Structure 1
Amino acid sequence: MAIQLIADSGSTKAEWCLIDGKKKKTFYTQGLSPYFLSTEQIQKILEQELKTKMKQVEPDEVFFYGTGCSNPNNVILVKKAIQKVFKKAKISVDHDLMGAAKALCGKEKGIACILGTGSNSCFYNGKKIIKNSPGLGYVLGDEGSGAYLGKKVIQYFLYNTFDEDLMDRFKAKFNTNNNEILEAVYKKPLPNRYLANFTIFLAENRGHYMVENIIEDGFNDFFFNHIYKYRESWTLPINFIGSVAFGFKDVLKEMCSSYELQLGTVLKKPMDGLIKYHKAS
Structure 2
Amino acid sequence: MAIRLIADSGSTKTDWCLIDGKKKKRFVTQGLSPYFLSSEQIEEILQKELKGKMKQVAPAEVFFYGTGCSNPANVKLIKKAIQAVFPKAKIIVDHDLIAAAKALCGDKKGIVCILGTGSNSCYYNGKKIVKNSPGLGFILGDEGSGSYLGKKVIQHYLYNTFDPDLMDRFNAKFNTDAIQILDAVYKQPLPNRYLAAFTIFLAENRGHYMIENIIEDGFNDFFFNHLYKFRETWSLPIHFVGSVAYGFKDVLKEMCSTYELQLGKVMQNPMEGLIQYHS
Query: What is the one-letter code of the residue matched to 2:235?
Result: T
The one-letter code of the counterpart of 1:230 is F
- C-alpha distance in 2, partners of 1:84/1:177? 42
What's the counterpart of residue 161 of structure 1? 161
CA distance in 2, matches of 1:47, 1:219: 38
Map 1:115-264 onto structure 2 (within 5 A). 115-264=115-264
Q: Which runs of 5+ in 2 are unaligned?
A: none
Q: Return the TM-score normalized by structure 2.
A: 0.93
Distance in 2 between residues matched to 1:112 and 1:63, nearest whole Å: 20
**In structure 2, do the counterparts of structure 1 residues 250 and 54 end up closer, same or farther at CA, with 3 Å as the change threshold?**
same
Q: Determine if contact 2:10/2:32 at 8 Å carries over to the other structure.
A: yes
Offset, 1:48: 4.1
Deviation at 1:63, TM superposition (A): 0.7
Q: CA deviation at 1:254?
A: 0.3
Q: In 2, Cα distance between the equivalents of 1:152 and 1:120? A: 19
Return the alpha-carbon distance in structure 2 between the equivalents of residues 37 and 182 of structure 1. 22
Where do residues 81-96 of structure 1 align in structure 2 (5 Å cutoff)?
81-96=81-96
How many Å separate the matches in 2 of 1:33 and 1:168? Answer: 34
SS at match of 2:181: helix
The secondary structure found in structure 1 opposite 2:100 is helix
Match of 2:31 in 1: 31
Q: Report how far residue 40 of structure 1 moved.
A: 4.5
Secondary structure of 1:35's counterpart equals: coil
Deviation of the 1:77 alpha carbon: 2.9
How big is each residue's C-alpha offset from its partner over 1:170-223, in whole Å with a ceiling of 9 and x where there is no partner? 222122223322232233332222221111111111111111111111101100
Residue 69 of structure 2 is aligned to residue 69 of structure 1: yes
Q: Which amino acid aligns with 2:224?
A: F
Task: Kindly indicate whether residue 114 of structure 2 is the aligned counterpart of residue 114 of structure 1.
Answer: yes
Q: How many residues align?
A: 279
What are the Cα deviations for residues 229-277 of structure 1, in whole angstroms up to 9, with x where unaligned?
0001111111111111100000000000111111111111121111111
1:30–1:214 Cα change, 3 Å: closer
What is the identity, as a one-letter code, of the residue corresponding to 2:81?
Answer: A
- Where does residue 275 of structure 1 map in the other structure? 275
Q: Distance in 2 between matches of 1:258 and 1:172?
A: 36
- The secondary structure found in structure 2 opposite 1:160 is coil
1:146-179: CA deviation from partner (whole Å, max 9, x where unpaired): 1111121122222222222222212221222233
Give the drift of 1:62: 1.4
Q: Which has the larger displacement, 249-258 or 167-176?
A: 167-176
Structure 1 unaligned spans of 5+: none
Cα RMSD after superposing both structures: 1.8
Find the aligned partners of 2:128 and 2:107 in 1 and give their Cα distance: 9
Aligned mates of 2:197, 2:45 — CA distance in 1: 26
Rounded to whole Å, the distance in 2 between the matches of 1:88 and 1:183 is 43
SS of equivalent to 1:200: helix
SS at match of 1:123: strand
Decide which moves more: 86-95 or 29-38: 29-38
- d(CA) in 2 for partners of 1:243, 1:200: 11
Identical aligned residues as a percent: 80
1:14 Cα deviation after fit: 2.0
